[in-house]
Chain A
Amino acid sequence: DTGVSQDPRHKITKRGQNVTFRCDPISEHNRLYWYRQTLGQGPEFLTYFQNEAQLEKSRLLSDRFSAERPKGSFSTLEIQRTEQGDSAMYLCASGPRNPKGSGYEQYFGPGTRLTVT
C-alpha cells in the first residue's frame, strides 16, 4: 500500500498525559498537512509543512501542540497535557511535489482517533 499511513489508529489516554502521532506521507510528496476532525464536522486545518519547513499553523494549534517533520519525510504531532476537548480524529494528508494540474491535491491517511478520558 503506497498511500498515507498513520500510527497508531486509535489512542486512549488519560487527561494530562502526552501523546504523539506519526504520519508517513506518500513517497516523494513534499507537502504534508495535519487536520483535526470532530464528530459530525469537516476536517479543520492545523498545520502545513513543505519539505521540513513548517510554513503555516492554525490558531487551533495551541502551545500544547507541536508538529515536526525533521527530514522532510514522516511527521509527528505531539499533544502535551491532553484535555478532554482534544478528543478527535487527527488526519494527515500529503500532496505531490510535481503535481498534475494546479498542484493542490491532498491525499488523506486513515487518521488517528484520540480519546481523552
Chain B
Amino acid sequence: GENVEQHPSTLSVQEGDSAVIKCTYSDSASNYFPWYKQELGKGPQLIIDIRSNVGEKKDQRIAVTLNKTAKHFSLHITETQPEDSAVYFCARGTSGTYKYIFGTGTRLKVLA
C-alpha cells in the first residue's frame, strides 16, 4: 500500500528522557525518509532525513535509523527538552515522483 503507519499517536516523556517514534511502510521503491516537526499554527519543519543507502544518521540530540529489510524507520530524540514538544511527522519519498507520503503524526509532550 501507499500509506505510512506511525506510532505512537501521542507520547509523553519527562524532561531529559528519550523519545522514540516509529514508522513503517510497504512500498519497497521508497528511498528517502524525512522527519518533520510541526508546532501549532506553523508549517512542518524538516529536522532530519535519511536516504536508503544509509542505516543511521545523527544530528546532535536527534537520530534516525532505517531498516530497509523490515521497511521501518525510527526517530530518536535524546535529552528531551520542553521545546521539543510538538507534532512529529515521518514521510517517505520515491525518486522520480518526489512527492511525500506522510504518516499520521505523533504528538510529543515533554513534561518539565
| Residues A99-115 near B (CB distance < 8 A) | 101-102, 104-111
Evaluate contact between B42 and A40: CB separation under 8 angstroms. no
| Residues A21-66 near B (CB distance < 8 A) | 31, 33, 35, 40-45, 48, 56, 58
Interface string of B72-112 (1 = CB under 8 A from A): 00000000000000000101010101111111110000000
- A selection of 19 A-B contacts at a CB cut-off of 8 Å is A31-B98, A41-B105, A42-B105, A45-B99, A45-B100, A45-B101, A48-B98, A48-B99, A91-B44, A101-B51, A102-B32, A102-B51, A104-B49, A104-B98, A106-B46, A108-B45, A109-B43, A110-B41, A110-B43
A108 to B44, CA, bound (A): 6
- B65 interface residue, CB < 8 Å from A? no
Q: Which of A4, A43, A105 contacts B89 (CB 8 A)?
A: A43
Compute the total of residue contacts between A and B using a CB distance below 8 Å. 65
Q: How far is the CB of B23 from chain A (nearest CB, A)?
A: 11
Give the nearest-CB partner of B104 in chain A. A42
Contacts of B43 in A (CB 8 A): 4, 91, 108-111
Give the nearest-CB partner of A91 in chain B. B43
Q: How far is the CB of B5 from chain A (nearest CB, A)?
A: 11
Contacts of A95 in B (CB 8 A): 98
Known A104-B32, A106-B34; judge A43-B98 contact (CB<8 A).
Answer: no
